[in-house]
Chain A
C-alpha cells in the first residue's frame, strides 16, 4: 500500500463510490418483487441481499481480466481516464436513481469508459463492433428472453394452480421467490464486485504499485465487497418501488415466476457466455410476469421511460466521461476540479431527492402519477383481474408501526 499517489488514491475512492452506487442501484433487481409481494419485509430483504452480495464478492477467484470486455483499447490507459469514466458512470447512476429508473450500472461504466477514452485518444480507442455485440444486442435481447420466460411460466403457474385458494398458496410462492432472489443477489456480488476489484487493480498496475498480472490485494477484495454490500443494504428504494410496483402489479406467484426467470436467465447468460445485464433481465422478467396473468397490465408509460433511460445510458455517461477527461487532462488542478464537480453533482442530486424521499416506509405505496393516459384507457376497458392482486398491501405487513421508529436511511 506504499507509494499511492494522490491521484491513485482519488481513483480508488471513486471506484469504491461507484461500487456503492452499483449496490444500491441494483438492490431492486434481486429484491423489488420480493418486497412488493410481501415475501420479505423491506429491511430484511435488503439485509439478506447485502449479505449475499458480500459473500459473492469473496466467492469467485477469477479476477476480471478486462474492465470493459474489449470495448475500449485498455493498453496504456492512463489513471485519469479511469477516473473520468468513473465520474460519468457515478453521475448517471445517481441521476437514474433520482428518477427511479432501473438502468444498467455496467453500461454506465462502459459509457464512461468510451467517452473518456475517446476524449483521451480519439475514436480509434473504441471497438465499435464490440459495443454492438456487448451492449446494444444484449439490451434488446435481455428483456425479451427473461420476459418471455416469465410470461410463459406465469401462465403455466396460473393454469396448474387454477383450482386452489390463492391465500393458501401465497406462502409457498413467497418462499420460492426468496430462494430465487438469493441466487440473483449472490450472482450480482460475484459479477459486479469483481468489476470494481478489476478497476482498482488496473489502476494500481497502471500506477506502478503492483506488478502487472497480479491478483487484487486482500484489502481491495474486502473494501470492494464491503462497498457493494453497504450500498445494497441502504437500498435504492426509488428503483425498488418502480420495479416492484411501478411497472405492473404482481401477485406472489407472479413475483416468484419473475424472480425465477431472472435467476435462470442471469445464470444461463453468465455460464453460456452471452452476457446480459442483470438490470435489464430483471426488468424484463417483471414485465413478462405482469403480462402473463389474465388482465395483467404493464404501465407502458413507466416502461417507456425506462427504455429511454437504457438508450441514453451509454451516450450520457459517455458525454460526462468525455467532459471529465478533458478536464483531468489539464493537470492536477483539473483532476481536483473534476472531483469537486462530482461531489457537487452528487450533492445536488441528493438534495433534489429529499423533496420527495422514498424510504423503507413508503416503498410499497403506489405512485398515482405514474399511470399514463394509455394505461388508464387500457385499465378502463379491461375487466378487473381474477384473484386477489396485491395493489396496496396492508401497512402492518410491510412497514408502518412494526418498522423501527427511528429515522431510516432514505436512499
Chain B
C-alpha cells in the first residue's frame, strides 16, 4: 500500500494557510469599511484604501482559483 503522505500533508497545509489568510484578509477589509463611517478625513481614506487592497488580494486569489480550474 502506498499512501502519499506528502501530498496529503501539502493539501492539509495549503488549505489551512490559504483559508486562514483569505478569511483574515477579507475580515480586515470588511472591518476597515465599517470603520470608515466612524473615522474622519485622512483616517477614513486610509481605511477605505486598506479595505480595497484587502478585497483586491482576495479577488486575485479567486482569479487564481478559476485559473486552476480552467487549466
In whole Å, how far is B24's beta carbon from the nearest beta carbon of chain A?
5
Question: For the complex, is A1 an interface residue (Cβ under 8 Å from B)?
Answer: no
In whole Å, how far is B43's beta carbon from the nearest beta carbon of chain A?
15
Question: For the complex, is A265 an interface residue (Cβ under 8 Å from B)?
Answer: yes
| Residues of B with C-beta under 8 A to A156 | 20, 23-24, 27
Number of interface residues, chain A, beta carbon within 8 A: 50
Instruction: Place the interface of chain B in its size category.
Output: 35 or more
| Residues of B with C-beta under 8 A to A187 | 69
Instruction: Give the contacts of B26-67 with A (CB-CB under 8 A).
Output: 26-31, 33-35, 37, 58, 62, 65-66
Provided the pairs A160-B24, A272-B10 are in contact, do residues A169 and B19 lie with their beta carbons within 8 angstroms? no
Is the CB–CB distance between A153 and B24 below 8 Å? yes
Provided the pairs A169-B34, A176-B58 are in contact, do residues A183 and B69 lie with their beta carbons within 8 angstroms? yes
Is the CB–CB distance between A176 and B69 below 8 Å? no
Partner of B19, one of A137, A150, A272, A276: A150
In whole Å, how far is A137's beta carbon from the nearest beta carbon of chain B?
6
Is the CB–CB distance between B27 and A183 below 8 Å? no
User: Which single residue of chain B is at the shortest CB-CB distance from A155?
Assistant: B20
User: Which single residue of chain A is at the shortest CB-CB distance from B70?
Assistant: A59
A173 to B25, CA, bound (A): 12
Is the CB–CB distance between A263 and B26 below 8 Å? no
In whole Å, how far is B9's beta carbon from the nearest beta carbon of chain A?
9
Is the CB–CB distance between A133 and B4 below 8 Å? yes
A150 to B14, CA, bound (A): 13
A168 to B62, CA, bound (A): 24
* Max chain A C-beta neighbours (<10 A), residue from B11, B28, B69: B11
A86 to B24, CA, bound (A): 43
| Residues of B with C-beta under 8 A to A173 | 26, 30
The contact sample of 17 A-B pairs, CB cut-off 8 A, is: A132-B3, A133-B2, A156-B20, A156-B23, A157-B24, A161-B30, A169-B34, A172-B30, A176-B58, A187-B69, A253-B27, A264-B14, A267-B65, A268-B14, A270-B68, A272-B14, A274-B7
* Max chain A C-beta neighbours (<10 A), residue from B1, B4, B19, B22: B19
User: Which single residue of chain A is at the shortest CB-CB distance from B13?
Assistant: A268
A270 to B14, CA, bound (A): 12
Question: For the complex, is A257 an interface residue (Cβ under 8 Å from B)?
Answer: yes
Is the CB–CB distance between B20 and A153 below 8 Å? yes
Question: For the complex, is A313 an interface residue (Cβ under 8 Å from B)?
Answer: no
A271 to B70, CA, bound (A): 11
A195 to B12, CA, bound (A): 25
